[in-house]
Amino acid sequence: MFKLLLYNGRLITANGILEFAYCYMEDGVIKQYGVGDIQVSEDTLEINVANKYISAGFIDIHIHGGGGYDFMDANVESFLGVANTHIKYGTTSMCPTTLTADSEHLEKVLTVYEQANLHNSKGSKFLGLHLEGPYFAMNQRGAQDPKYIRNPDYKEYSRIVEMSPHIIRWSSAPELPGALEFGDFLTDRGIIAAFAHTEALYDDIKLAFDHGYRLATHFYSAMLGVTRKNAHRYAGAVEACYLIDEIDVEVIADGVHLPKPLLELIYKIKGSERIVLITDAMRAAGTHVNKSILGSLHDGIEVIVEDGVAKLADRSAFAGSIATANLLVRNFLNNTKASFPEVIKMITENPARILGFAHRKGKIEKGYDADVVVFDDNIDVYLSIVEGHIKYNKLNFNSNES
């Protein structure tokens, strides 16, 4: 039984920040937290975090890669490579995310997920797969490979879902033929239906909401706002997200995808309850390259990396971010009026709720999984802990614990 005590920190809770606080973990769960001193047994590893912040671990529900790896490589090494990269930036849990591909490729990713899960001892924990595509609107494909984009096919998606119990969410364009039935199918099976890469207008999203679509994938990206047809204007998916209170929105707060005024607008309308910060990171995250591949190394798309983001070679569209979770927190905090606890909620409590883990992840709370991150005022990460085990350590102490 491993026992760990973090003390002399600023502990971020839903109600505010506790000064001179501690967090005691035992057997993989949070046993106690508070202010001041605590008596622990001699076999406890005690760490003075020297007034750094103690927070629940970051949860990234939309991530493709990092450290030179992509989940679409469909091998165990790449799965572990992504997890081992992002743990350094405070991501203690993640949803490996696919791109548009043929059925054979997607099914291989599903198989590798199970294998990688068994060997993931050093990185961010996998909470379930996010399938992004292939059921998208061609005109809103962004950097998704057009040759794989298609309409929902019951035989295909039912086979894929039957094949793996690890699919936790699926993003598609809800206006496509068969997409509403697809939403019902997912919802009936406890899989989160999200809308993405879509030409849907307000009425389409309102209808899709009634068929289970409750999450906007990378809000604003690859979706319509107010649209004019001849003399008339129509509200788009963006306005639907604002007007339907129950819709959660993913926000890529990398400082590039969404400018400051939009971050301010999203926060002002949706508030801290319905925003979830995501990296949407591709394989160049956590590296210093200027060229990379979006998707599989075998048949992915060549991209350039400049201005803090990945772009298609012709610069016609972004091709994923190179952000890490701590950067999202820093940017949203610096560019909106959201409080520190509110921003942390967007990358801890909110994603945990969306994924169905609100009862044990996303908070510093007694009985919750001991997923904890320690960082400084610049949101530079010094310690990442997954279920009570130290996975990343940049503090000045020695530990053989893993």
pLDDT per position as a tens digit, 358-378: 999 999 999 999 999 999 999
Average pLDDT over residues 387-391: 98
**Whether pLDDT at 120 is above 80:** yes
Residue 397 has pLDDT above 90, yes or no: no
CB 296 within 8 A of CB 305: no
Average pLDDT value over all residues in the chain: 97
267-291 pLDDT, tens digit each? 999 999 999 999 999 999 999 999 9
pLDDT value for 399: 55
Residue 168's pLDDT band (boundaries 50, 70, 90)?
A: very high
Mind listing the domains of the chain with CATH numbers?
3-55+363-393 (2.30.40.10), 58-355 (3.20.20.140)
User: With 70 as the cut, is the pLDDT of residue 80 above it?
Assistant: yes
pLDDT band at 110 (very low <50, low <70, confident <90, very high): very high
For 313, the token pair is 């070679």
Q: What is the pLDDT of residue 85?
A: 99
Q: Residue 398: what pLDDT? A: 60
Handedness of CA 371, 376, 379, 382 (dihedral sign): negative
- Residue 400: burial class (beta carbons within 10 Å; 0-12, 13-18, 19+): exposed
> Where do we find the tokens 């005109």?
139
Q: What is the pLDDT of residue 1?
A: 74
Q: Tell me the one-letter amino acid at 398.
A: N
Beta bridge partner(s), residue 374: 54, 383
Structure tokens at 129: 């797969």
How confident is the model over 321-356, as pLDDT tens digits? 999 999 999 999 999 999 999 999 999 999 999 999
Three-class secondary structure of residue 242 per DSSP: helix
Number of Cβ atoms within 10 Å of the Cβ of 31: 18
